[in-house]
Amino acid sequence: MTQQIHHIDKQLYEILETVSDPEIPVLSIMEMGVVRSGKIVNGIVEIEITPTYSGCPAMDVIADDIKAAFKHKGYEAKIDLILSPAWTTDWITSKGRTALEKYGIASPLSAESDKEALLGNKKVVKCPQCGSFNTKLVSQFGSTACKAFFKCEDCLEPFDYFKCLK
C-alpha cells in the first residue's frame, strides 16, 4: 500500500525526521508513517498526524515533540490529528523495519502470517537477537498496545513483536 502522504515541504521533512517515537527512540515519526501532511500556511507550520492505536499515549508526546522541534527552528507549529484513513503497519518504511529489528523488536509480518503467528499455529516470527524461527508466543499483548510478547526457544531471549495492523 502507498503511504498516502499528501505533500510535505522539504525543509519541514528534515525537521520532522529528527522527531522520534518516544517508545521506540530509534524510529523517526517519518519512518513510522504517522505524518500525513506538512505545509506552511500564513507563516504557521501545519502538520497532520494519524494515531497508530487510538489510546497510544505516545501520540500526545509526539505532538508536543513536533511542536518543540519546530519551535527550535523558529517556527510555530499546529498539529491536527486525523483518523481516516486509519494507520496501518504497512506505512512503516523499510528503513523503519530495519531499525526496529536492530533495536530488538521483530517487525510486522503480512496479515496472513501475522494471524498464524498470533494463533500460535506456525513459527513465522524471526527472533531479532539470533535470527531463529524457533519462537513462541508468550502473550498477545506486550509492553505497549502495538506489540505482542514472544520468546526465542533457541537463544532463550524474550522479545517484542510489532503486530500487523491492517
The site for other proteins (CB under 8 A) is made up of 51, 53-57, 82-86, 118, 138-145, 149, 163, 165-166
For the chain, helix (H) and strand (E) counts, in that order, are 5, 7
CB of 13 to other proteins, least distance (A): 25
Q: From the CB of residue 47, how many other CB atoms can be counted at a distance below 10 Å?
A: 23
CB of 55 to other proteins, least distance (A): 3
C-alpha–C-alpha distance, residues 125 and 132, integer Å: 9
- Closest CB to other proteins among residues 44, 86: 86
CB of 14 to other proteins, least distance (A): 29
Q: What are phi and psi of 143, to 5 degrees?
A: -65, -25
- Closest CB to other proteins among residues 53, 75: 53
CB of 7 to other proteins, least distance (A): 21
- Closest CB to other proteins among residues 2, 54: 54
Q: Are 143 and 153 in contact (CB under 8 A)?
A: no
Hunting for cell 497510544 — which residue is that?
56
- Closest CB to other proteins among residues 44, 82: 82
Q: Are 32 and 21 in contact (CB under 8 A)?
A: yes
CA distances (Å), origin 151, targets 10, 120, 122, 142, 143: 41, 12, 14, 12, 14
- Closest CB to other proteins among residues 33, 51: 51
CB of 86 to other proteins, least distance (A): 4
Q: What are phi and psi of 11, to 5 degrees?
A: -65, -25
C-alpha–C-alpha distance, residues 2 and 122, integer Å: 28
